Chain A
Amino acid sequence: MIGWRTRQRVVKVALGALTLGFLAYQWMPILTMGLLSFTGPDGGTTFPMRGVSLHWYRELLRVQSVDDFKPPMARSLALALACSLTTAVFAVAAAQAMRARFRGSGAFFYLVLLGVMAPGLLVGFGIALITRVLGIPLAWYSTTFAVHLVWTLPFGFLTMLAVFNRFDRRLEEAGLTLGASRLTTFRRITLPLVLPGVIGSALFGFTLSFDEFARSFFSTGSEQTLPLVIYAQFDRQLQPTLYALGTLTTVVSLLAVGSAIALLRGSARRTLTTRP
Chain B
Amino acid sequence: MTSTTTRRSLLKGGALAAGALALGAPARVHAQSKELNVVGATFNLRDPILQEFTKRSGIAVKPWINPSAQARADRIRVAPVDNLESGADFVKYAWEEKLIQPIDLSRLPNWKRATRLFVEGQATPQSPLGFGDNPGRLMYVDKEKTKAKYVPSMYQFDSIAYNPDRVPAKENVLSWGELFNPKWRGKAALYGIEWLGILDAALGMHALGLLKAQDLTNLTEKEVDTVILFLKEKKKEGHFRAFWKAFGELVNLMTANEVWIADGWWPTVMEVRQKGTPCRYAEAVEGYRAWAVGSAISATCKNVDGAYEWINFWLEGFAGAKQAEIGYYSPVDTYTKYMTPEQVRKSYGGEGRDGGPVERRNARVFVWNTKPKNQEYYSDKWNEFLAS
Contact = CB atoms under 8 A, between A and B. Distances in A.
B78 interface: yes
A125 B68 CA distance: 13
B47 to A, nearest CB: 5
Contacts of A234: 67, 246-249
Interface residues of A, number: 39
Contacts of B51: 65
A243 B17 CA distance: 45
B210 interface: no
Contacts, number: 114
B14 A134 contact: yes
Interface in B1-25: 10-11, 14-15, 17-18
Contact of A129 (B62, B68, B77, B246): B77
A26 interface: no
A66 B63 contact: yes
Interface stretch (B36-44, B116-124, B232-240): B36-44
B145 interface: no
B98 interface: no
Contact of B47 (A45, A64, A134): A64
Contacts of A125: 74, 78
B139 interface: no
A66 B46 contact: yes
A138 B77 contact: no
B252 A50 contact: no
Given A64-B47, A67-B42, A237-B271, A221 B247 contact: no
A238 B251 contact: yes
A168 interface: no
Interface of B: 10-11, 14-15, 17-18, 37, 41-43, 45-47, 50-51, 62-68, 71, 74-75, 77-79, 246-249, 251-252, 255-256, 271, 274-276
A237 B248 contact: yes
B275 A43 contact: yes
A47 B255 CA distance: 8
Contacts of A64: 47
A125 B75 CA distance: 9
A235 B47 contact: no
B66 A236 contact: no
A107 B89 CA distance: 45
Given A43-B275, A48-B276, A237-B248, A221 B79 contact: yes
Given A65-B51, A132-B78, A217-B71, A44 B255 contact: yes
Nearest to A49: B276
A133 B67 contact: no
Contacts of A46: 252, 255-256
A243 to B, nearest CB: 12
B276 A232 contact: no
Contacts of B46: 66
A228 interface: yes
Contacts of A50: 275-276
A66 B78 contact: no
Interface string A228-245: 110111111110000000
A128 interface: yes
A132 B18 CA distance: 10
Interface of A: 42-48, 50, 63-67, 125, 128-129, 131-138, 217-218, 221-222, 224, 228-229, 231-238
A236 B248 contact: yes
Given A46-B252, A222-B37, A236 B47 contact: no
B299 to A, nearest CB: 14
A45 B75 CA distance: 31
Contact of B247 (A47, A132, A228, A237): A237
B63 A222 contact: yes
A71 to B, nearest CB: 13
Contacts of B10: 133
A268 to B, nearest CB: 47
Nearest to A240: B275
20 contacts: A42-B274, A44-B275, A45-B252, A50-B276, A64-B47, A66-B47, A66-B50, A125-B74, A129-B77, A133-B10, A135-B15, A135-B17, A135-B18, A138-B79, A218-B78, A232-B66, A235-B247, A236-B42, A237-B251, A237-B274
A129 B78 contact: yes
B74 A44 contact: no
Contacts of B246: 234-235
B50 A65 contact: yes
A222 B14 contact: no
A238 B250 CA distance: 10
Contacts of A136: 18
Given A236-B248, A238-B248, A133 B14 contact: yes
Nearest to B275: A44
A246 to B, nearest CB: 15
Contacts of B15: 132, 135
B17 to A, nearest CB: 6
